[in-house]
Chain A
């Protein structure tokens, strides 16, 4: 099956710093990547949809200036949490859809962000 990686898997940072999370499709080219966040015992919340070479589409209520998304190639998308605060602490998960396929979505292992 298609493999998606995320880096880092876990990050702890101080309030006010910026954190970059990378999402890579390892064995396929991804037309589209999605970014989700998930709080404990809650369901996935879609933050944004990222297409290679174009601006991300953010869901309502997600601050685009705070959560910067760059999809520079068909295998890499990055999420930067700028000026992180404790309320940004969450589990961030990316997923990808293979180029030429518009169906199955494969998830990365997730990044657990803790802002002190």
Chain B
């Protein structure tokens, strides 16, 4: 059973702080990793994808991947109240088309 775990929320950070979201996965052959943001009542939107070990930065977002530790994280710098949402980690193996989603971490950025 392939599993994706995320740190339980809700996570609250003050505006301007760094929010750190964590995700671990069980399938060692996983190759593709994604972070989605989902606002309440809306569908998920892709914010980051990462395929290689190390850091990948896009604006205020940084994804970090460590395949040896089976760990992927998302850092949000200068957090804004508009970042308040549920963040979903998704993992995909090298073969097949199915993604496995984590349960999500709800982030609240307090003004």
* Range of interface residues on B (Cβ < 8 Å): 20 to 34
Q: A104 with B49: in contact, given A46-B98, A109-B43 (CB under 8 Å)?
A: yes
Question: Contact: B101 with A107, CB < 8 Å?
Answer: no
The answer to whether B46 has its CB under 8 Å from any CB of chain A is yes
Report how far A110 CA is from B97 CA in the complex, Å: 21
* Range of interface residues on A (Cβ < 8 Å): 20 to 34
The answer to whether B45 has its CB under 8 Å from any CB of chain A is yes
Closest to B99 in A: A105
Binding site for B on A (CB under 8 A): 1, 31-32, 34, 43-44, 46, 49, 91, 93, 97, 102-110
By a CB distance below 8 angstroms, the chain B residues around A97 are: 97
Question: Contact: B49 with A107, CB < 8 Å?
Answer: no
Q: A107 with B104: in contact, given A43-B88, A46-B98, A49-B97 (CB under 8 Å)?
A: no
8 A Cβ contacts from B23-82 to A: 32, 34, 36, 41-46, 49, 51
User: What is the minimal beta-carbon distance from B15 to any residue of chain A, in angstroms?
Assistant: 24
Report how far A97 CA is from B34 CA in the complex, Å: 13
8 A Cβ contacts from B6-34 to A: 32, 34
